[in-house]
Structure 1
Amino acid sequence: MPLPVSRLALIALGLLGATMTVLAAARERHEGSDLEPIASLDVPRYLGAWYEIAKYPNRFQKQCDRDTTAHYSLQPGGGIQVINRCRRADGRIDEAVGSARQIGPADSPKLEVRFAPGWLSFLPMVWGDYWVIDLDPDYQLAAVSEPKREYLWILSRTPTVPRLAMAGLLDRLARQGFDINKLEATKQAR
């Protein structure tokens, strides 16, 4: 039985309202933040393997016990493939495969990442901000966050970071308004 036109109009208005709310929330993610990413990012130099050194605890890494890594590689068409891996307490490997895209010019340090299926990529809420906010000149130590500072990851090309380099990074992050006490060190294999 077909719906009356008035009910169809109400459903259409409801869907339009929900879409506008989602778009406004996505726009709000980028506005009003005083967090500054690095000046520019050379994506080809950033690609490759990174070890997670520390992070703000988050719901999507609860199962991870140790040995967390991220691997970035170019996809055909210019996107970036993201493969995140960690080891659970029982020894099993957890893997999440996603995509990233740069926002803005070719040297923009602002990216978005998604782990939802590709057919959902048109929805703004499946993309999360991934801003490179600190990076050493040799592309060996990085900090990644997003405009609201709810998430923070410290990444390194090696499983350990020299004490002086880590102290300098933590000082810079504290000056950017991050609560360093919230950081949780990532356990590495022995």
Structure 2
Amino acid sequence: MRDDGGETVLNRGYSAQKGEWQEAEGKAYFVNNSDEGYLKVSFFGLFYGSYAVFDLDRDNYQYSFVSGPDSSYLWLLSRTSTVKQEVRERFIRRAQERGYLIPTQERGNE
């Protein structure tokens, strides 16, 4: 929690191309009520982006599914570096229900 009523946000990810971890600290505020997963988030001062949480792990808060203001932004946020296959499948299913076009990988005979 922040002193101004917001939340501190830390996004961290591994860049395989660079071979290093990258992180960004930001701030988030609920747009409406604190029981609604709709936030404005900033990593760059006065510029805010929309985070609409459309699914999450309500038991352990290990992952959340987030979309932006339009179909250009979609994230599966996780507290761990690996995500179980069932969580990925749920993410794809829930994203498709929201109108996102998720390409499927075709697998050859292995």
Partner residue of 2:5 out of 52, 63, 78: 78
Give 1 or 2: higher strand fraction: 2
* Structure 2 CA distance for partners of 1:93 and 1:141, relative to 1, 3 Å: closer
Deviation at 1:104, TM superposition (A): 0.7
Structure 1 residue runs without a partner (length 5+): 1-73, 183-190
Query: What is the identity, as a one-letter code, of the residue corresponding to 2:4?
Result: G
Partner residue of 2:49 out of 128, 136, 143: 128
1:111 matched to 2:33 = no
Return the alpha-carbon distance in structure 2 between the equivalents of residues 92 and 168 of structure 1: 28
Larger of the two Rg values belongs to structure:
1
Q: How many residues align?
A: 102
* Structure 2 CA distance for partners of 1:90 and 1:106, relative to 1, 3 Å: closer
Which moved further from structure 2: 161-170 or 99-108? 161-170
**1:142-171: CA deviations, max 9, x gaps?**
111123121001122332222233223311
Alignment of 1:36-55 (within 5 A): none
Return the alpha-carbon distance in structure 2 between the equivalents of residues 141 and 95 of structure 1: 17
Deviation at 1:92, TM superposition (A): 4.2
Larger RCO (CA under 8 A, 6+ residues apart): 1
Give 1 or 2: higher helix fraction: 1
1:170 matched to 2:98 = no
What's the TM-score, normalizing by structure 1? 0.47
Q: Between the two proteins, what is the percent identity of the paired residues?
A: 37
Return the alpha-carbon distance in structure 2 between the equivalents of residues 167 and 146 of structure 1: 20
Alignment of 1:175-190 (within 5 A): 175-181=97-103
Q: Calculate the aligned-residue CA RMSD, in Å.
A: 2.1
Alignment of 1:52-63 (within 5 A): none
What's the TM-score, normalizing by structure 2? 0.75
Query: What is the identity, as a one-letter code, of the residue corresponding to 1:178?
Result: Y
Structure 2 residue runs without a partner (length 5+): 105-110
Aligned to 1:7: none
